[in-house]
Structure 1
Amino acid sequence: MSVGLITDEPGRFYTFQSTLPAGEYFEFRPRNPPLNSKPIVDDESGMCIGYSVAQAPGLWQIYDADGMFVRLEEAPLEAPLIDPTDLALIAFGAFRLLRAGKALLESGVKAAVTVRLSEATISLLRGRLKMGLSVRALRMSESSAKHMLTPGRYVPLQIQEKAIRYGIRKPDPLKKPGLFRYEARMYKLVEDRQNKGTYIYKSYRLEVLVREADWTIMHFQYMP
C-alpha cells in the first residue's frame, strides 16, 4: 500500500466536495442502525450523514450517522394541496440533502414532493460528524489530496476519520517508522434508478495509511 511513498511529505489541511457521480454516496454504518431507517444523504460530502425513521405522515425520528437519536422533525410541505396518497408516500422518509440545503422525497409512481429539513437539523447532523478525532485535525499529503479529485478514488474525509477512530490499527506493511494502517468496512450507496429513494448497498474494505506524528493521511484506498 505504501510502495513509492514519500514519508516526509508535508501534511496540509484541505476541504473537499464530493466528486462522486450523481446518486452515489458512502456510509460508515453504525453497529446498531435504527430499525426501519432510511439514509439521509448529503450531495456536498457524498455520504450518509444520518437516518430518518417515519413515525407518522410528515413526522420523522432523526438519528445521526452513529445511529444516535437527535430529534423529531416535522417537515412543512412546499407543494400545494396534496391528497392522502401523497401523504402516505411522504411517510417513507427518504431524504436527500441538496447543496441548497433541501431534502427531496421522490416516488416512481407520483411526481416528486419536496420537503424541507430545518437548518438546525442539517447543522446538527453535519456537526456531530466532527466529534472525536475532529476532521479539522486531519491533514493530507499532497499526493493523497489529489486522489480526492478523482471520482473513482474519492472517499469523504469524515469516512476516513471514522476508519481511524473505529477501525483496526496495524503497523505499516513496509515497516516505515511512524506510519500505521487503519482498516474498516464501509458501504457505497447507489440510488436505484428504477425505484427512487431506495439504494443498492455495496461493501468495501477501506485502508487509510496515517503518519500519527501529525495525523497526516499519506495514502488511502478501498476495495471489495
Structure 2
Amino acid sequence: MSLSSLSGKVAVILGGTGGIGLATGNALAQLGASVVLTGRQHDSADSAAASLPAGNHLGAVAEIGDTASLNALAGEVSHHYGRIDILVNTAGFTRAVPHADLDALDDALIDELFAINWRGQFAAIRAFAPHLRANGDGLVVNVGSIAGRTGQGSNVAYCAAKAGLDIMAVSLGRALAPAIRVLNVSPGVVDTGFVPGRDDTFNERAARTTPLRRIGQAQDVADAIVACATSLRFATGTTIVVDGGRQLG
C-alpha cells in the first residue's frame, strides 16, 4: 500500500461543513478514507458528505461546545464503521473586537470563545480517544491559528484560546503517545469568511503584507492536515505553521 493511501481509515472532521473542513474531507476521501463531516444541521452535513468523492461517507450533527453531543457522535461513528482513526478539529468561532476595547470583550463572550475554541477541542479528543487508541495508530489534528503566537487576531481571547491549542498539542502529544499522535496546523489569514467583516479589501492588504504575497486557501490547510496523516508520521506534540510567512512580519 502507498504511504499516502488512507484506504480503510475512518476520519471524523468536526466543523466539516466549513471551508477548511470540507477541503480536508475531500483531500482525505481522495486518498481512500471514509469521512464523517459534522455540522450543526443535518441538511448541511448530509449535503457536504454527498459532495465528497465516492466512498463510504457520512454527514452527522454535533455541537463542539456540547460534550454530550461529542460523546454521542463518537459512539455513533464507532458503531457505524467499527473503528475511528483520525479526528480533525476545524470547528471554531470568533468575533472581531479591537484589542484595546477591553469592555467589549465581556465575560460572556470570553466564556463562549474558550468553550468553542479550546474546551470543545479537548472534549472531542476525550470522547474519541478510546476509539483512536484501539487501533494503536490514532491521529488528532487541531486547526489553530498564528494568532496564538503573534497575539494579533480577531480578539484577545481568541488569540489566547489558540495559544492554548498549541500547548494542548504538547501536553497531549506526550500523554497520549504512542497510540495517538496529536498535532496542530496553524494557518494565518485564510480565504474562508471565518472572521465576520473581513472583505476583499482586508484580504488584499493581508496578501501584500505576507512574505509569499497571498493569503491562504482552505486547500493549503487541508494539504497540511493530509501531511500529518501520511508523510509526517514521526511527528507529534508540535504545531505546523501554514501561513505564507505571515508571522515573520
* Structure 1 and Structure 2 fold alike (TM over 0.5): no
Provide TM-score, normalisation by structure 1: 0.29
Structure with more helix by fraction: 2
TM-score, scaled to structure 2: 0.26
The structure with more radius of gyration:
1
